[in-house]
Structure 1
């Protein structure tokens, strides 16, 4: 079964008083997830806004990725293939 989807991602960045905030919205057409990230400039460091943008954006992406993985895990469990199954998942940290 072949199919093509388009998911829309938008990144919003704002900086104020040495703190950069990022918000990343993912719209799958059926659901919307929002990741958030923050970066703070150490007062002793040079204020280079691009570095704050990169850090905050990467943290928002990481937050969004964790949320998406949680949704995928829940969907897998719903069809009997999730973490409750005896077959280990091919990704993530092994269970203790």
Structure 2
């Protein structure tokens, strides 16, 4: 993988195909398809020929993939981890948004 592609994938507004997501997250395409089938990974768009994913899932999916390797976890557990990591990211965004509404306290 080229160094420049790492930078591109960190843009949360980008989109990735299933093979691209598999490559940057160190998972097999079949494994990602299983995660989609069980609802742990939700594509932005899905049809018979392709799935397109938000780049927002890259970092949580990479973290879940790394934990899988570190602790020899099964794919079902990776799906659970991914759901929780995505939820944590969403909650952190909400907390930051709420913090911006608070009065400044030095």
> What interval of TM-score do these two structures reach, taking the shorter chain for normalisation?
0.3 to 0.5
Higher strand share: 1
Q: TM-score, normalised by structure 1?
A: 0.41
Q: TM-score, normalised by structure 2?
A: 0.38
Answer 1 or 2: higher relative contact order, Cα 8 Å, separation at least 6.
Answer: 2
Q: Which has the larger Rg? A: 1
